[in-house]
């Protein structure tokens, strides 16, 4: 069975045709439970997100800040497994028809088996994977299987990336490029880094695939700011924080739905 890379491409193209950025939400599987996490992902999509990245919880999420680290710890203590991540992708995609990616560090895939992981993600209706710690020069095996199964391979670029390195990364990627707006870990911030716009400009000079910006976007005004120059606006910690701060699971789901609606207005410049 083939994955949904084309759905991802079409979704990003449709947002561009509307003259706006796409809204991409991140939520970890298994927060606060597997069932609760599925409801949260569905709520983000129903509330206004165009795409969702489902995080595969990791015991040592080195690129993530305290909010996502806390969420991963809750999910792992709850016993979440890769099968639960696949179920999250499947049920959210079936319910909404929208593209779902998995964001994961490389080690869990390597241990699980690349062929097994890509085949199961495609079978679940997944659109691809974001692999923040997989070096491009070590990615041939992953890309071979991802392409075979119709999955996007999204690499991360940073303000420190030199132009030649950007060209190498974007030539190997598909779906979109994840432009980290700053050096450091994930988390909400008072303002979006001024380096982000320059990074998008330099990345676009190397590729025709969309460039989406994440790290630090947490409210509609920031979403609107990034939407001026990026093809997509990625929001993670703000969604997770809403869930962590909610008094119960149902309230967390509704908080996610509400934030998605607010951010959707932001990417459309209605703030």
Question: Would you please indicate which residues are annotated as catalytic (active-site) residues?
Answer: 53, 64
Asked if residue 256 lies in contact with residue 243, where contact means CB atoms within 8 angstroms, the answer is yes
d(CA 25, CA 15): 15
d(CA 105, CA 56): 8
d(CA 30, CA 43): 15
Strand order in the sheet with 156-157: 152-154, 128-130, 100-103, 51-55, 22-28, 232-235, 211-214, 177-180, 156-157
Regarding beta strands 232-235 and 22-28, do their DSSP bridges make them parallel or antiparallel, or are they unpaired?
parallel
For residue 87, give every residue at least 6 positions away whose Cβ sits within 8 Å of its Cβ, in sequence order, or none: 34, 38, 124
Containing 177, the helix (H) or strand (E) segment is strand 177-180
Q: Which of 161, 151, 237 is nearest to 200 (CA)?
A: 161
Cis geometry, peptide bond prior to residue 32 (ω within 30 degrees of 0): yes
Chain-centroid distance, C-alpha 150: 18
**Maximum C-alpha span of the chain:** 48
d(CA 112, CA 119): 12
Asked if residue 35 lies in contact with residue 85, where contact means CB atoms within 8 angstroms, the answer is no
């Amino acid at each position: 069975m083939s994955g949904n890379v084309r759905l991802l491409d079409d979704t990003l193209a449709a947002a561009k045709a509307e003259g706006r950025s796409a809204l991409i939400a991140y939520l970890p599987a298994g927060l606060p439970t597997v069932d609760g996490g599925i409801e949260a992902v569905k709520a983000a999509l129903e509330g206004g997100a165009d795409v969702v990245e489902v995080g595969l919880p990791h015991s040592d999420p080195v690129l993530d800040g305290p909010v996502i680290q806390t969420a991963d710890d809750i999910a792992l203590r709850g016993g979440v497994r890769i099968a639960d991540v696949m179920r999250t992708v499947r049920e959210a995609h079936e319910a909404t028809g929208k593209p779902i990616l998995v964001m994961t560090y490389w080690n869990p895939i390597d241990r699980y088996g690349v062929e097994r992981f890509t085949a199961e993600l495609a079978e679940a209706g997944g659109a691809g994977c974001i692999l923040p710690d997989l070096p491009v020069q070590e990615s041939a095996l992953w890309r071979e299987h991802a392409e075979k199964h119709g999955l996007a391979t999204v690499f991360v670029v940073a303000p420190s990336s030199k132009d030649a390195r950007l060209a190498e990364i974007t030539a190997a990627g598909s779906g979109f490029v994840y432009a980290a707006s700053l050096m450091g870990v994930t988390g909400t911030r008072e303002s979006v880094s001024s380096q982000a716009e320059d990074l998008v400009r330099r990345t676009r000079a190397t590729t025709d695939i969309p460039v989406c910006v994440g790290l630090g976007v947490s409210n509609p005004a920031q979403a609107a700011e990034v939407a001026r120059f990026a093809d997509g606006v990625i929001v993670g910690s703000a969604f997770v924080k809403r869930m962590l701060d909610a008094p119960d699971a149902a309230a967390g789901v509704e908080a996610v739905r509400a934030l998605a609606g607010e951010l959707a207005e932001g990417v459309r410049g209605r703030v």
